[in-house]
Structure 1
Amino acid sequence: MAFSYGQQQRAPVGGPPVSKVELSISCEHLMNKDTTSKSDPICVLMMQEGDKWFEFGRTEQVVNTLDPLFSTKFEVDYYFEEVQKLKFTVYDVDNATSTLADDDFLGSLECTLGQIVSHGTYKKPLVLKTGKAAGKGEIKIVAQELTDHHVVDINFRAHKLDKKDTFSKSDPYLEIHKQGKDGFWQLVHRTEVIQNNLSPTWKDFTLTVQSVCNGDYEKQLKLICYDWDSDGSHDLIGEATTTLRQMIDDNQGGRRQVEFPCINPKKTKKSSYKDSGILFLTKCILRKEYSFLDYVFGGCQINFTVGVDFTASNGNPKDPASLHYLGHGQPNQYQLAIGSVGGVVQDYDTDKMFPSLGFGAKIPPDFQVSHEFALNFNPQNPYCMGVEGILTAYQNALPQIQLYGPTNASPIINHVARFATQAAQQPGASAYYVLLLLTDGVLTDMDATREAIVRASHLPMSIIIIGVGDADFRDMEILDGDDGVLKSPRGEPVLRDIVQFVPFRQFQNKAPAALARSVLQELPNQVVQYFKKRGMAPNTPNPTQGPV
């Protein structure tokens, strides 16, 4: 018997999801729990919210098979900036009750949504509650983006519109409206006003298909032309109806102008009335705006690097008041920040080998000050395995170094930029670099850092700066660019905004995930903006990945 359950999204915590993702499930080589036939499997998807798991949904039951291909899909909101923990559990169902306690457990898989989308197709062994393999059972999850990222580039002009003003010509502007389910018309776009002109050509504009018609290309649209008046009593010149499908098809990729007689309903009763002018659709070109997930599905790796401030202003690591103190039994702010941000980003790097660097300390063997040293003291191989490896290297480094100064961040920014430069010279959108820079105070080399950031803004690279401790970080906010365009000391502006700065103290009394949400929310758009400016499409997914 098949069961049907509604899929339950969790309440949004931060901003809107990056996208909506469809998960398709299949299994192979499941354990056989039935005596006279094969198992009758069902798959249940659980999601973690806080410390609790809730049931998101269930597939249908597939009868008498150890290799089920489930037709029920799970539609999941995808948040890049969060670790979205999922649990897929497979049962052999032998009764008609909705409870699963009396059904045979065939195995489960715990993973994150980030791990799934970064692979496209995610295939793993099922495990028993003891942690041992569930026989030879495997589960395969294929992710596909559902959100429509198509846009239309549109241009209209008009010819011989009605004259509405006494002492001058009309001041026309055009509105596009879509019809809602309730029959009411909803404004989609309004052009600029062109003064004193009966044959205007409005500026090009670009709209998402979702905003124009909610993805329904046959939805009724209304083109309404008005004469603008300064007192707000704009006069109707005329209107026309169409659909986005008609606009796209008839315009033939901009090769054919489409005429829409501009009709004023109040004038149609006059026998001599023909129209109030003609609207011409000169351009209506449908194209795909590539999304962050398009690049991820195409194999783009997010390469994560950590830079840690070891200047003397942090305090002696042996002193409980030190920002580097490790003896509280609780992680310090540096550890919390690395775990929060790194825990998200690590899912998008296949080998999970992360360069981990320090600055502002005297290091062995000669104890000279370094502003770019490997936390594992191996400059030829500064890589650490996963977030746990970074934290281990950080803890091991503290007793071996002498905190010193000054607080120079530009060497580590330039270090990552060298790798990003190499990636930018390669064909294809294959790599993007994220630097997490942790510091306890305002930078000493602010001018050099500004210069490094401006150069890095031309590269596949973003920088997250987290201010640790209680210092006054107001001078650091200039690097963020939210209050104005960051410029180098030479006056050159950043090509794009690549820096996110936050003081850790804003998140001190919040869950660690709140920090990651804040600093990573802009990253997907930064990735897309870089490749868009370069005119680079996503790579074609390899055969082991799911469809895009």
Structure 2
Amino acid sequence: MPILPFRFCRHAHKHTQQRFLFSCAHCHDPFPASRFTICHKTEVVKNNLNPVWQPFSIPVRALCNGDYDRTVKIDVFDWDRDGSHDFIGEFATSYRELSRAQNQFTVYEVSNPRKKCKKKKYVNSGTVTLLSFAVQSEYTFVDYIRGGTQLNFTVAIDFTASNGIPSQPTSLHYMSPYQLSSYAMALKAVGEIIQDYDSDKLFPAYGFGAKVPPDGKVSHQFPLNHNPDNPSCEGIEGVLESYFHSLRTVQLYGPTNFAPVINQVARLAAQETDGSQYYVLLIITDGVISDMLQTKEAIVSASSLPMSIIIVGVGPADFLAMEELDGDEVRVSSRGRYAERDIVQFVPFRDYVDHSGNHVLSMARLAKDVLAEIPEQLLSYMKTRDIKPLSASPQ
């Protein structure tokens, strides 16, 4: 990914507002106007005849699609408030030519073809100086997986009374003879994809919000297999089996607390911060959250760890609280402290229910959207910590 700052100098003195526009050619022909695609526009520098634009970065694939000799055209405009920007001039270069300027300034003459045709003594409309050029390596999600980074998948299932009595058809946990419950379908759809990235296929699985035998106390973090010393289940089928067993042995109760299980996974993630492990917590819930403040605090704390949280909301509830935790629009905050990065992805299960009965296709779409942000979230953690793949070349 190249990073480039530019400075523009011009001969005329009547213009006071300049805009630099960066566009990339799709062929090697010189300036085929209909064949250029804009790949970057700089900020507007106002009231300055010799503007210096801020450095910017652009992926090599966007600049030249990997063709280092592909023509890159730069246009310079005089900015007007009404949008009728005046064209000052242009010049052509290429990624290869730009890269030669890594250790020295390079000056380009900005030419206006119309003026050049009309004026015999026309030289140029100014110059643009490339102040610096640097290339940064960008690693992909696959680079880290190939390099040995392990994904650790943990499941947490909502066992609160708001889901309805499991033996009743109105319950979100109800298992009909003909199809899985919404909880089981979501777990199977997501788990069967992510288990391919988990080498040992052992998944810690918890329930929360139920009264648990033998003493009947409410637990917000009970192992589905009822083994506190080893809460891991073998594969997604093992998780499903333990989930079905728990439905028959615990009493759905409440409240709906997310923080305990988030903090549990965060404690594990805090022990493995070298990039060798990355933790993914899947929470399946009916959306009626009780410990919002504590959950926000847990998410903010976990945002500095190698960890992501997926929340699948089942049922018809109002999921505004879940949307708030997602943090796509506004980063989650707690006590004046903002999450270091976005680690939560929320999707409502009802958006993926296929009423025509094609559950395979609808669950594939669910898994795709649920897992869409995991690669970028993993990369954001690795990048902020300057962690490189153990054995991989950048793409």
> Secondary structure, in 3 states, of the residue corresponding to 1:218?
coil
Q: Which residue of 2 aligns with 1:135?
A: none
CA offset at residue 272 of structure 1?
Answer: 4.4
> Secondary structure, in 3 states, of the residue corresponding to 2:87?
strand
Residue 496 in structure 1 maps to residue 341 in structure 2: yes
Residue 411 in structure 1 maps to residue 257 in structure 2: no
Distance 2:55 2:282 in 1: 39
Q: Which residue of 2 aligns with 1:111?
A: none
Residue 288 in structure 1 maps to residue 134 in structure 2: no
The answer (yes or no) to whether the contact 1:461–1:498 under 8 Å persists in 2 is yes
Residue 440 in structure 1 maps to residue 286 in structure 2: yes
Q: Which residue of 1 aligns with 2:8?
A: 158
Q: Which of 339, 345, 352 is the equivalent residue of 2:201?
A: 352
Q: Which residue of 1 aligns with 2:66?
A: 215
> Secondary structure, in 3 states, of the residue corresponding to 1:173?
strand
Q: How does 1:295-334 map to 2 (within 5 A)?
A: 295-334=144-183
Q: TM-score when scaled to structure 2? A: 0.91
- After superposition, what is the alpha-carbon deviation per residue over 1:53-90, rounded to whole angstroms, capped at 9, x for unaligned? xxxxxxxxxxxxxxxxxxxxxxxxxxxxxxxxxxxxxx
Distance 1:379 1:331 in 2: 27
Q: Which residue of 1 aligns with 2:111?
A: 263
> Secondary structure, in 3 states, of the residue corresponding to 1:477?
helix
Q: Which residue of 1 aligns with 2:390?
A: 539
Distance 2:371 2:269 in 1: 19
Structure 1 266/504 Cα, relative in aligned 2: closer, same or farther at 3 Å? closer
Structure 1 442/238 Cα, relative in aligned 2: closer, same or farther at 3 Å? same
Q: Which residue of 2 aligns with 1:186?
A: 37
Distance 2:111 2:365 in 1: 54
The answer (yes or no) to whether the contact 1:164–1:227 under 8 Å persists in 2 is no
Q: Which residue of 2 aligns with 1:487?
A: 333
More deviation, 333-342/216-225: 216-225
Q: How does 1:97-108 map to 2 (within 5 A)?
A: none
Distance 1:236 1:469 in 2: 56
Distance 2:312 2:345 in 1: 8
> Secondary structure, in 3 states, of the residue corresponding to 1:506?
helix
Q: Which of 253, 276, 299 is the equivalent residue of 1:453?
A: 299
The answer (yes or no) to whether the contact 1:227–1:235 under 8 Å persists in 2 is yes
More deviation, 261-270/198-207: 261-270
CA offset at residue 239 of structure 1?
Answer: 2.3
Q: Which residue of 2 aligns with 1:363?
A: 212
In structure 1, list runs of 5 or more residues that go unmatched.
1-150
Q: Which amino acid counterpart does residue 475 of structure 1 have in structure 2? A: A
> Secondary structure, in 3 states, of the residue corresponding to 2:43?
coil
- After superposition, what is the alpha-carbon deviation per residue over 1:405-424, rounded to whole angstroms, capped at 9, x for unaligned? 11111100111111111112
Distance 2:317 2:92 in 1: 60
> Secondary structure, in 3 states, of the residue corresponding to 1:454?
helix
Distance 2:179 2:242 in 1: 17
Q: Which of 308, 313, 322 is the equivalent residue of 1:462?
A: 308
CA offset at residue 287 of structure 1?
Answer: 2.1
CA offset at residue 293 of structure 1?
Answer: 1.1
Q: How does 1:104-115 map to 2 (within 5 A)?
A: none
The answer (yes or no) to whether the contact 1:162–1:170 under 8 Å persists in 2 is no
Distance 2:173 2:46 in 1: 65
Q: Which amino acid counterpart does residue 152 of structure 1 have in structure 2? A: P
Distance 2:110 2:340 in 1: 43
Structure 1 377/164 Cα, relative in aligned 2: closer, same or farther at 3 Å? same
Distance 1:328 1:471 in 2: 25
Structure 1 365/285 Cα, relative in aligned 2: closer, same or farther at 3 Å? same
Distance 1:419 1:218 in 2: 48
More deviation, 220-229/173-182: 173-182
CA offset at residue 158 of structure 1?
Answer: 2.0
Distance 1:236 1:474 in 2: 47
- After superposition, what is the alpha-carbon deviation per residue over 1:337-375, rounded to whole angstroms, capped at 9, x for unaligned? 110010110000100100001111121222211111111
The answer (yes or no) to whether the contact 2:205–2:233 under 8 Å persists in 1 is yes
CA offset at residue 205 of structure 1?
Answer: 0.6
The answer (yes or no) to whether the contact 1:334–1:468 under 8 Å persists in 2 is yes
- After superposition, what is the alpha-carbon deviation per residue over 1:178-205, rounded to whole angstroms, capped at 9, x for unaligned? 3334833332222222122222110111
Distance 1:248 1:499 in 2: 38
Q: Which of 88, 107, 112 is the equivalent residue of 1:237?
A: 88
The answer (yes or no) to whether the contact 1:437–1:465 under 8 Å persists in 2 is yes
CA root-mean-square deviation? 2.0
Residue 505 in structure 1 maps to residue 350 in structure 2: yes
Bigger share in helix = 2
Distance 1:273 1:323 in 2: 77
The answer (yes or no) to whether the contact 2:164–2:171 under 8 Å persists in 1 is yes
Q: Which residue of 2 aligns with 1:84?
A: none
Q: Which of 299, 317, 323 is the equivalent residue of 1:471?
A: 317
CA offset at residue 266 of structure 1?
Answer: 3.8
> Secondary structure, in 3 states, of the residue corresponding to 1:217?
coil
In structure 2, list runs of 5 or more residues that go unmatched.
none
- After superposition, what is the alpha-carbon deviation per residue over 1:260-315, rounded to whole angstroms, capped at 9, x for unaligned? 12223344465544333221111221222111111111111111100011112222
The structure showing larger relative contact order (alpha-carbon pairs under 8 Å, at least 6 residues apart) is 2
Q: Which amino acid counterpart does residue 25 of structure 2 have in structure 1? A: Q
**Which structure has the larger Rg?**
1
Q: Which residue of 2 aligns with 1:279?
A: 128
Bigger share in strand = 1
> Secondary structure, in 3 states, of the residue corresponding to 1:288?
coil
Distance 2:11 2:39 in 1: 24
Identity value in percent: 48
